[in-house]
Structure 1
Amino acid sequence: MIFDTQHPPAGTVRDWMDALADARGDEISHVFPDTDTAISWSELRDRAAAIAMHLAGMGAMRGESVAFMIPNGREAVLALMGALYGGFRATPINLAAGAEAIGHAITHSRARILLCDHRQRMLLAETLKGRHAAPVVVDVAADFDWPATAQPRALDTLGSDDDALLMYTSGTTGRPKGVLHSHASLLAGGWNTALAHALMPQDRAMCVLPIYHINGLCVTILAPLLSGGSAIVCEKFSASQFWGLCQTHGATWFSVVPTIISHLLHGAAEPTSDCLNAMRFGRSASAALAPEVHSAFETRFGIPIIETMGLTETAAQILSNPLPQHGTRKVGSPGCPVGNEVVILSPDLAEAPRGTEGEIAVRGANVMRGYLDDPAATRAAITADGWLRTGDLGRQDAEGYVFVTGRSKEIIIKGGENISPREIDEALYAHPAVVEAAAFARPCPRYGETIEAAVVLHDGSGPDAGELMQLCETRIGRFKTPDRIHLMSELPKGPSGKIQRLKLAELTTPTPKGESHQTG
């Protein structure tokens, strides 16, 4: 298999694993710092094939969901690759989603086999209470503990149109939906990342995002598969260990979310010059990166940050800024389409003129097959001519760069005026003590909705609410300034680390204007 910069990859994940194992089998594919282990491409292929054949021996059929509840690490990568290699529908379960959402995913996916880390057994038992689902559970500790009856069986042939991945959305605005990807769309998603960032075989990704989220899975696991590179897979992010692990294991790039960039910026840990010299770029996705944080990070560490945008429904990346040597990076924009098409749609779903705000839509080989068992939601999301409606609002400039102005479901409507919470977030991030910030709406009898914000401060100290509100008023005016600011120890986040803005109203208590509210 050859990486083609002109066309999305052909074949299946199995084909690409076989090709790398045959061509570069002795080279490291993944490093696992938490267990101080590593695995080569040939070892990965052989273990994935053995897992796949055992799953087939348990009765798993091609295209059938095989779920797994495993935190990042060797077993998670093996489970994912084993399911994909076998032609089963890999169904990673979001361990941070809560019992109700996890139970729904297991039940809705109809998974008859579940690969489980022993540390998740209690959570699994809780999620299955009162449900009809009763999957056969395989313990993955040390090695996969297959039932005695699971005799390896030969695998079916695969095609690029076969199902590959079933991943559930975060469900912040309703019950999680099962996003269904084929091998073709899954590989196209990884290809978009590899293409945008000019990934090479000598590149090594730093993966600190969970691979049960599309960012961690497609960007730092599948993109290296297509480029022939490798990945460092950490169980979780640690600000104090991040730079040391990058240096020890030779990271040349990393993919994180804005909250992680902010925590690294405000952290005491300093990377060595060797670490910085080896690092080609950092990648930010899953949420908007405040320009002040972006600029401050690059000033402190000298590492270019490439802002991008992607969705579960598009196998991650749809937009990316270029690398510094390849073009202009526009701070505040997730960039231009790479590997797919992007347009802005007007309310009547016609293409809007450049510079006009509307709904961002994407079309390409990386777009999902649809939502599992939900044809109505699929029809609502994908237009008749193949455009996936993202639900994000934005505009596109003359050079094709997209500027996201908000999420349609997160827009604050105060006195009949639409206000993007991102604009308020960026005003708050302008204060050097602010590590996390998110504006949100509160119902109001006078204006319909009023503006509030939640903030996490560096070391829990710094400005009071009045100072932050004055900062906002100076930068964005009185009308858009939050009426209340809540000082919190942590903001609620999804599995990727993206702040869950819509949960803030229920987690905070209204307080008089100009006062802070200490929460958590």
Structure 2
Amino acid sequence: MASVYPSFEDLPASIPALVLEAAERHGPRAALEHGEQRITYAELPGHMLQVTRALIAAGIGKGDRVVIWAPNCVEWVVLALGLQAAGAVLVPLNTRMKGAEAADIVARSGARLAFVQGSFLGTDYPAMLDQYRPATLERMVVIGTAPSQPGDQELQQFLAGAGQVPLEQALASARSIAPTDLSDLLFTSGTTGKSKGVMCAHGPSLRAFNEYVRIIGLVPGDRYLVVNPFFHSFGYKAGWLTCLLGGATILPQPVFDADEVFRRVAEERITVLPGPPTLYLSMLDHPELGRKDLSSLRVAVTGASTIPPVLIQRIRQELGCAVVTTAYGLTECGGLATICDPADSAEVIAGTSGKPIPGTELAILDSEGKPVPVGHNGEICLRGFHLMQGYFDDPGATQDTFDAQGWLHTGDIGSLDGQGNLRITGRLKDMFIVGGFNCYPAEIEAALSEHPAIAQVAVLGVPDERMGEVGCACVVLRQGEALTAVELITWSRERMANYKVPRRVEFFEQLPTNASNKVDKLLLARQLREEESASYSV
């Protein structure tokens, strides 16, 4: 069967309740698998409740925020489930963040405890956070290595505290979670440069991604390689949560590496492989394509960038995926709003983001809040069961996002075709996407403005053959100052996540402005295109 739960009325009340039910439904099937690590569905509740008991022993309870700052791994999922079963709220952190960026979210979420990867890709995460550690963070639990600060614990030491709490107490906690209780607080950058915490509940996430399971045709026993990071809704809700709903095996992939993904698909018999277009392009260009057995692949889901129809055709023909689809969502709606029917043509799947999932309303509205005609552009607005409860500790921003009719204004520009498919045509707030990661110019501009040589800076996305888009920093220097593009990029890499770092820097005597004396980014983008065209013609 395509979906374990034929209707949202049949769904469990919460994510922990889903784990308990999945143990009965899928018992001996592998729930989590990575290298030598393997946890069956029957074993998963025990692992989840051990974390819950340890958290209760540490004084963590309903409504407390708990951070996870780690790459995709088996422990990430178990810790997330355990804290949710304790009634706590999951706060994932982007593994590309620097210490100051991570500490800002830890502080503003009010998190009392953080699970932090000890070392990853040569980076000491606890040391980075310790430099800026907020006073509200009572304890850091380090995954994989010994902690350096008094009061902090290594993960196994922390889990030993589970012995202080009866299993029945943890089980009662897991069963007490209601559909309206908060499951997670995902921080997403805003156009003001200040990230906002999106409050989402258990019930809406289960309902939305049960539809996702149904549409992509996930079946028990599917093997789902989760390349998308768990800190993002694509890796979390369209990743491991989807697997738990469908009875599939979660196979975490810590880093996107084309050779490693290619190897794992062939050797571990992967059947489901979602990811950004760059993932599929890397596989299709791989020298081993045609010599490796990729016959297990069945489902591909992509989005986040402009997609040529030929890519959809190649995924179907050369990678052998019977199901290929694209989707649209944002954190404020839980990560999923529309999705293409896999039976649609390559042109529809590549050129649109499909139709709203059941229970979701979509409208394209003009600046006065009125619907625009079919084929005309306007702001994409959503209404339905899966919208966020609001921005954490920010009622003003929440009020600004919803109108009087209950529409959530996404800030994205799009249109509807005659069949009701959504076409994304732009972004009201100038957001651009680098390798699947959302980049917000105002946030990057705020960081670059701290450079002592910079007087003014504007950031915008420019096309890039490999990444889809990359950031371009248009810089006006302070009088008497000198700075090169390489120096600014190097400086940026030390202070912000890699995907935010501009790949291109252009220097200007002054930036073009409009009548309101604001930087005219449309004119600026046109100037960049003209300069690039002129340089190619030389």
Normalising by structure 1, we get a TM-score of: 0.77
Partner Cα distance (1:443, 1:235) in 2: 34
The answer as to 2:310 corresponding to 1:288 is no
Write out aligned runs for 1:52-63 (5 A): 52-63=52-63
3-state SS of 1:301 partner: coil
Contact 1:285 1:310 in 2 (8 A): no
Partner Cα distance (1:100, 1:221) in 2: 28
Change (3 A) 1:160 1:96: same
The answer as to 2:332 corresponding to 1:313 is yes
Unmatched runs of 5 consecutive residues or more in structure 2: 146-154, 433-459, 477-488, 509-527
Q: Deviations over 1:181-228 (max 9, x none)?
A: 111122233223213212221322111111011110001111111122
Partner Cα distance (2:222, 2:507) in 1: 47
Q: Which residue of 2 aligns with 1:464?
A: none
Write out aligned runs for 1:346-357 (5 A): 346-357=366-377
Q: Which residue of 2 aligns with 1:134?
A: 137
The CA deviation at 1:300 is 3.7
The answer as to 2:241 corresponding to 1:222 is yes
The CA deviation at 1:113 is 1.3
Q: Deviations over 1:217-275 (max 9, x none)?
A: 00111111112222211112210121221232222111101222232233323266742
Q: Deviations over 1:107-128 (max 9, x none)?
A: 1111111112221683333334
Q: Which residue of 2 aligns with 1:179?
A: 198
Give the paired residue count: 449
Q: Which residue of 2 aligns with 1:468?
A: none
Q: Which residue of 209, 225, 246 maps to 2:265?
A: 246
Q: Deviations over 1:427-485 (max 9, x none)?
A: x7xxxxx323427777799xxxxxxxxxxxxxxxxxxxxxxxxxxxxxxxxxxxxxxxx
Q: Which residue of 2 aligns with 1:478?
A: none
The CA deviation at 1:299 is 4.9
Q: Which residue of 2 aligns with 1:45?
A: 45
Change (3 A) 1:436 1:129: closer
Identity of aligned residues (%): 22
Q: Which residue of 1 aligns with 2:99?
A: 99
Q: Which residue of 2 aligns with 1:341?
A: 361
Change (3 A) 1:360 1:8: farther
Partner Cα distance (1:435, 1:77) in 2: 31
Change (3 A) 1:401 1:286: same
Q: Which residue of 1 aligns with 2:512?
A: none
The residue type equivalent to 2:394 in the other structure is D
The residue type equivalent to 1:189 in the other structure is A
3-state SS of 2:263 partner: helix
Unmatched runs of 5 consecutive residues or more in structure 1: 413-420, 429-433, 446-487
The CA deviation at 1:325 is 7.7
The CA deviation at 1:387 is 2.0
Change (3 A) 1:122 1:399: same
The residue type equivalent to 1:81 in the other structure is L
Partner Cα distance (2:249, 2:58) in 1: 31
The residue type equivalent to 1:386 in the other structure is G
The CA deviation at 1:61 is 1.4
The CA deviation at 1:174 is 1.1
Q: Which residue of 2 aligns with 1:365?
A: 385
The CA deviation at 1:401 is 0.5
Q: Deviations over 1:389-429 (max 9, x none)?
A: 211100001111011001112289xxxxxxxx99x84xx7x
3-state SS of 2:307 partner: coil
3-state SS of 1:435 partner: coil
Partner Cα distance (1:252, 1:346) in 2: 42
The residue type equivalent to 2:41 in the other structure is W
Write out aligned runs for 1:28-427 (5 A): 28-32=30-34, 35-119=35-119, 122-130=124-132, 131-141=134-144, 144-146=156-158, 151-152=164-165, 154-155=169-170, 156=173, 157-170=176-189, 174-270=193-289, 274-276=293-295, 278-303=296-321, 305-324=324-343, 329-339=348-358, 340-410=360-430, 425=463
Identify which range, 281-290 or 296-305, moves more after superposition: 296-305
3-state SS of 1:253 partner: coil
The CA deviation at 1:506 is 6.9
Partner Cα distance (1:84, 1:214) in 2: 16
